[in-house]
């Protein structure tokens, strides 16, 4: 009788553990969050600025989507008295179970970036807006006490708009490509609330374009 109970307990655990691990892999994929960011251009004369970010992700039956918005206070490069950077990004993809603790899959992605700078001494303002479209590989993982999401992607530059105060905007059908990679770690604080910490690298491939390294810390709410 004891052996039978032991065998049933072992069987129950063997069935429950994979199911629990699989569910936890996607535990932070249905989430909205807000974060504080520190972002710096690693190029020569690059600036380091703080900012705020919003993010949301949705998962259902393998399909997933993510959306982000960021605002950075300050110009990307030195030599300006003011400026900011605004970013909007979208990803849409599908995740496959690689194991009980890991899911990976492809995604298509779009990103809009607007770099603005001004010089109060000379009274001018300029901006550069870019649009990129491409894709990459996304992953979600679960370890005891922490979840991870990460990605590597490449976006082709599809358009660029330049604007200098006093002149009409100029649009080009080409802009710098963008190589992206990043990872977020999610630590549960309480029911449905997580602290997340991220590190992200955006390398614009055109010569002279910024290479941006960003760290963020935020709170996310699962739903």
What pLDDT, on the 0 to 100 scale, is given for residue 16? 36
Domain ranges for the chain, please list them: 2-222
What pLDDT, on the 0 to 100 scale, is given for residue 11? 39
- Measured between alpha carbons, how far is 37 from 141 in angstroms, rounded to an integer? 23
What pLDDT, on the 0 to 100 scale, is given for residue 49? 95
The percentage of residues in the chain with a pLDDT greater than 90, rounded to a whole number, is 78
- Measured between alpha carbons, how far is 77 from 49 in angstroms, rounded to an integer? 10
On the question of pLDDT at 17 being above 80, the answer is no
What pLDDT, on the 0 to 100 scale, is given for residue 10? 43
On the question of pLDDT at 5 being above 70, the answer is no
CB atoms within 10 A of CB 76: 26
- Measured between alpha carbons, how far is 166 from 132 in angstroms, rounded to an integer? 27
Residue with more model confidence, 141 or 207: 141
| Pairing mode, strands 211-222 and 96-97 | unpaired
- Fold that domain 2-222 belongs to in CATH: Lipocalin (2.40.128)
What pLDDT, on the 0 to 100 scale, is given for residue 56? 98
pLDDT confidence of 119, banded at 50, 70, 90? confident
- Measured between alpha carbons, how far is 73 from 51 in angstroms, rounded to an integer? 6
| Lowest model confidence (mean pLDDT) among 2-6, 68-72, 103-107, 151-155 | 2-6
What pLDDT, on the 0 to 100 scale, is given for residue 3? 47
User: What are 149-208's pLDDT values in tens digits?
Assistant: 999 999 999 999 999 988 999 999 999 999 999 999 999 999 899 999 999 999 999 988
């Amino acid at each position: 009788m004891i052996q039978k109970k032991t065998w049933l307990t072992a069987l129950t655990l063997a069935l429950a553990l994979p199911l629990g691990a699989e569910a936890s892999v996607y535990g932070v994929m249905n989430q909205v969050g807000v974060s504080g960011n520190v972002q710096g251009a690693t190029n020569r004369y690059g600036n380091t600025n703080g900012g705020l970010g919003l993010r949301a992700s949705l998962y259902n039956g393998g399909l997933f989507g993510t959306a982000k918005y960021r605002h950075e206070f300050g110009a990307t490069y030195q030599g300006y008295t003011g400026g900011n950077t605004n970013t909007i990004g979208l990803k849409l993809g599908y995740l496959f179970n690689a194991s009980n603790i890991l899911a990976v899959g492809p995604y298509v992605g779009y990103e809009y970036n607007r770099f603005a700078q001004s010089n109060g001494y000379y009274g001018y303002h300029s901006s550069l807006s870019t649009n990129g479209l491409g894709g990459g590989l996304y992953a979600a993982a679960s370890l005891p006490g922490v979840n991870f999401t990460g990605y590597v992607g490449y976006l082709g530059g599809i358009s660029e708009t330049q604007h200098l105060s006093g002149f009409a905007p100029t649009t080009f059908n080409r802009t710098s490509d963008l190589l992206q990679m990043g990872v977020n770690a999610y630590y549960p604080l309480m029911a449905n609330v997580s602290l997340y910490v991220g590190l992200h690298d955006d390398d614009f491939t055109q010569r002279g374009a910024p290479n941006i390294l960003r760290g963020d810390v935020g709170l996310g709410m699962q739903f």
